[in-house]
Amino acid sequence: MKKQINVVGAVIVKDGMILCAQRGEGSSLGGMWEFPGGKIEPEETPRDALQREIDEELKCQVSVGEEVTTTPHEYDFGVVTLTTFYCELIEGTPELTEHAAVKWLAPDELGQLDWAPADIPAVDLIQEQRAA
């Protein structure tokens, strides 16, 4: 059986715009766009994992709201099950530590980016749910 990887991603919304983050060139899926976050550690809830990852990667604090969706995607290195949550910034501003870049885009602009394949169902849903 392929390696199962459980990942959480933050859909951070501010003034109707969504934070998109570009993976660093050195990592898996380098250069592709994602929702910042990472792997859920054993004994961590998805929401706790997301708060920890955002604190570590973006040096800011979010409150984690409603789930967008949970979908599996099979890569050559394993199956990533990605759970995304809408989030709000409650302290600080996102800083680049691991990512190559971040962008704030309107929902109808999300399709311009080269998203990690696992993110496509979430991106589609966000566009439907938040269409202007």
Q: Which of 11, 37, 50, 68 is the binder for ligand 8DG (CB under 6 A)?
A: 37
Least Å from the CB of residue 30 to ligand 8DG:
8
Q: What backbone phi and psi angles, to 5 degrees, belong to 92?
A: 85, 175
Closest CA to 97 of 60, 61, 63, 64: 60
Under rule CB under 6 A, residue 19 binds ligand 8DG: no
What is the Cα–Cα distance from 66 to 2, expressed in whole angstroms? Answer: 29
Q: Which two tokens stand for residue 65?
A: 């709201």
What is the Cα–Cα distance from 15 to 47, expressed in whole angstroms? Answer: 22
Q: Which of 4, 27, 97, 112 is the binder for ligand 8DG (CB under 6 A)?
A: 27
Of residues 106-125, which lie at the interface with ligand 8DG (CB under 6 A)?
116, 118-119
Q: Applying CB under 6 A, which residues contact ligand 8DG?
A: 5, 7, 9, 27-29, 34-35, 37-39, 80, 82, 116, 118-119
